[in-house]
Amino acid sequence: MNFSTIGQNIVRLLIKYWDKFLITGLSYTLSLAAITVFFGTIFGALIALMRMSRIPPLRWVSSVYTEIIRGTPMLLQLYLFYFGLPQLLPFLNRQQYACVAIALVCNSAAYVSEIIRSGIQAVDIGQTEAARSLGFSQAQTMRYIVLPQAVKNILPALGNEFIMVTKDTSLASTFFIGDLMTQVLLIKGATYLPIEPLTIAAIIYFLLTFVLSKLVGLLERRLRRGDIR
């Protein structure tokens, strides 16, 4: 099979299965990534604050959670959540999408927490002390002094994490929940063409991550211009 034939097959598959690639698969992938990014950021911020807390049990729990998540493969975590959650929470039985989404959120939260914690700790401690001496409470200091600077510090790493999340949603195809890679597997089985569907998926994933990286870069430049002013 030459490149010309592969190209023709790609065009033919796009025409015939554009709804599966661009509507069903892409919509599931984007929704899964959006859920993971949104809740992963919220829970990651909470875990980061727990790790920096002066309360020992909070530090221990958050540290153990982070080390376990970062020390085990994501695919293993997906299997554990997929088969384990319905046994612990019966209402999640037959809710494959929800189980996979929860697993991705828990995984992302551990990595985001470390990014946020490093960004907060990178802010000069003198600024925190100055704010407290001016009468700011600890919560006000964190909100108005530390977090705005920390966001600028962590934005590149956080943007990279979001891009990784978008790509990692492809692991959800293991459970056939309807995402882009699931559609690729279904189309491969229907057409007996292994290369062409994978090539289309690769192009779509590349375009998604490329757009995300450009948006993150744009936000970084705007923040830098704000510093100059």
At 43-68, the pLDDT tens digits run: 999 999 899 888 999 999 999 999 99
Residue 121 has pLDDT above 90, yes or no: no
Question: What is the residue type of 7?
Answer: G
Helices (H), 89-146: 96-121, 125-133, 138-141
Neighbours of 95 (CB within 10 A): 14
Q: Residue 12 sits in a domain of what CATH number?
A: 1.10.3720.10
**What pLDDT sits at residue 226?**
58
Instruction: Say if CB 193 and CB 6 are below 8 A apart.
Output: no
∠ at Cα 169 (164, 170), nearest 5°?
Answer: 105
**Which contiguous run of DSSP H or E holds residue 184?**
helix 180-191
pLDDT by residue (tens digit) across 152-193? 778 888 888 888 888 888 998 888 888 889 989 889 888 888
Q: How many domains does the chain have?
A: 1
Residue 229 has pLDDT above 70, yes or no: no
Whole-angstrom distance, CA of residue 128 vs CA of residue 29: 41
**What pLDDT sits at residue 202?**
92
Between 50 and 6, the higher pLDDT residue:
50
Whole-angstrom distance, CA of residue 65 vs CA of residue 107: 10
Please give the mean pLDDT across all residues of the chain: 87
Percent of the chain with pLDDT over 70: 97
Place of tokens 């999640």: 92
Instruction: Say if CB 48 and CB 114 are below 8 A apart.
Output: yes
Calculate the CA 221 to chain-centre distance.
Answer: 22
Instruction: State the average pLDDT over residues 133-158.
Output: 81
How many CA within 13 A on the CB side of residue 227? 11
∠ at Cα 104 (31, 219), nearest 5°?
Answer: 60
Whole-angstrom distance, CA of residue 30 vs CA of residue 170: 11
Instruction: State the average pLDDT over residues 63-83.
Output: 94
Read off the tokens for 16: 């015939």
Contacts with 200 (C-beta within 8 Å, 6 or more apart), sequence order: 10, 13, 14, 21, 184
Instruction: Say if CB 205 and CB 166 are below 8 A apart.
Output: yes
Residue (of 80, 149, 68, 78) closest to 110 by Cα position? 68
pLDDT by residue (tens digit) across 21-42? 878 888 889 899 999 999 999 9
> For residue 52, what are the domain limits?
3-228
Whole-angstrom distance, CA of residue 76 vs CA of residue 56: 29
Instruction: State the average pLDDT over residues 98-103.
Output: 93
